[in-house]
Structure 1
């Protein structure tokens, strides 16, 4: 996959990821932990079908049995990413969680710098800072962290960017080794772990038939398909670049809420979103320009 195509794939991934909010607004009875359980369960079912088609049942079963510690560690990272967001959102505000998630590029850049010894260009550091400032501007007015429950929720939310940073760095490290390993089954492991952990908390289940149908679409279209695409793109893109592009999920989420739920964004959201888009665009334009051969 070329760098340009990998960037396009990641943009499409964030667009699909961002549909969670507007789809959740269509639910009638399902509560937060039950939403997480059903989404992870259908995510696992979708991944099982996709990976069986891509790898074949025998190869997939062999990979799950003999994948080694790195595969299962990546699966654990996916499970934390799938679960921590919903747990945090029940304890603090959406704004708190989103601002914490905006630190993912910084986590990833620092981790890849010290673990993979990447020398990050100044433009990437500048884009991380500007994008983070844009997200903070978008949601800074609504941040509340005075209560202990809010503080605990914010700390749990740190699991999302921290796990994402570890996961993207791990996937890149494995894919660039002498014998690149197949890390796609790790997403299936993460989905199964997330469903297993949240089922006891969500029990007894209260979702209606309509809720289950919406969550099935969410698990397959918002998680299974884009996660497979993200792992594929991460083999080509630098880990900090993946995390930086992932910030587009926040912007697309605002747009979905505006179009699908009538939630008009404030001036701060529009201004902060413009900063994020400008940072991403500038970083990618410079990168593509420097990769273009001279004639």
Structure 2
């Protein structure tokens, strides 16, 4: 996968991730931990099938047994992301959850700088700053006037960018040291580990089950299409994109998610959301364009060599 293909794939990943908020607004009876349990359970089933096809059952089992600490750390991070995100959506608005998650690029940049010693390009720092300013512009007023339940949702959602930053850094570490690990640094099964941990930890809290057949259909779709497929693609993308770059592109989930909530659930964005969103899109477009140009130049130099 080339750098340009990695960027395009990450855009698809964020588009698929972004549908969770609007779908949860159409659930009939399922609530909080039950929603999280069913989505994670369906995610685990879909991942089991996909990994069996991609890797084969024996290879997946061998990786789970000998994948090392990075694999299990990544799996734990996925479980936190899966669980905290859905619980937060049941406590506060889609916008509040997504804006909190937008802290991810800053956390990721700092963590990768100190753990992996990445020297980030000036364009990436600039894009992170501009995107953060745009996000603050979009939702600063709303966050200041949130009630106690909404603030609790924001606090839960804060676990998502922290876990995501740790996860992207773990993935990058695995790529760097994969040759020294049993399983060759294969991190795809980490997503399955995360889904299983999330389902197991929320199962006792999910009772009594109240989901209707329609709810289960929506949650099955989320588990497979909104989680399993994009998360596997995300792990593959980590081979060609740096952690801060992945996290920065992931900010598009904020914009896509707000758009879906607007069109599909009637959560109309304020003018400040539209203005701030323009800043975010501009920052992402600038960083992606310069990154693609630099990636293309590197690939051209390699070809000539």
TM bin, normalised by shorter chain, reads over 0.9
The match for 1:14 is 14
Distance 1:35 1:90 in 2: 9
The match for 2:239 is 235
Unmatched tracts of structure 2, length 5 or more: none
TM-score by length of 1: 0.94
The match for 2:137 is 137
What is the Cα deviation at residue 91 of structure 1?
A: 4.6
The match for 1:74 is 74
Higher mean C-alpha deviation, range 70-79 or range 94-103? 94-103
1:236-262 CA-to-partner distances (Å, cap 9, x unmatched) read 100000000001011111221233234
Residue 264 of structure 1 pairs with residue 268 of structure 2: yes
Contact 1:108 1:165 in 2 (8 A): yes
The match for 2:118 is 118
1:6-56 CA-to-partner distances (Å, cap 9, x unmatched) read 000000000000111222222111112111111000000000000000011
Aligned with 1:204 (options 208, 221, 229):
208
Higher mean C-alpha deviation, range 221-230 or range 60-69? 60-69
Contact 1:95 1:142 in 2 (8 A): no
Contact 1:101 1:160 in 2 (8 A): yes
Residue 174 of structure 1 pairs with residue 150 of structure 2: no
Contact 2:131 2:283 in 1 (8 A): yes
What is the Cα deviation at residue 3 of structure 1?
A: 0.3
CA RMSD of aligned residues (A): 1.9
What is the Cα deviation at residue 69 of structure 1?
A: 1.9
Contact 2:81 2:164 in 1 (8 A): yes
Residue 288 of structure 1 pairs with residue 292 of structure 2: yes
- Give the match's secondary structure for 1:22: helix
The match for 1:156 is 156
Equivalence map 1:179-194=2 (5 Å) = 179=179, 180-194=184-198
TM-score by length of 2: 0.91
Distance 1:254 1:89 in 2: 13
Distance 1:75 1:178 in 2: 16
Distance 2:153 2:128 in 1: 24
Change over 3 Å in CA distance of 1:93–1:259 after alignment to 2: closer
Residue 64 of structure 1 pairs with residue 68 of structure 2: no
Residue 87 of structure 1 pairs with residue 87 of structure 2: yes
What is the Cα deviation at residue 106 of structure 1?
A: 0.5
Residue 40 of structure 1 pairs with residue 40 of structure 2: yes
Contact 2:10 2:234 in 1 (8 A): yes
Alignment size in residue pairs? 295
Contact 2:178 2:185 in 1 (8 A): no
- Give the match's secondary structure for 2:241: coil
Contact 2:131 2:280 in 1 (8 A): yes
Unmatched tracts of structure 1, length 5 or more: none
Aligned with 2:217 (options 206, 213, 216):
213
Distance 1:61 1:28 in 2: 37
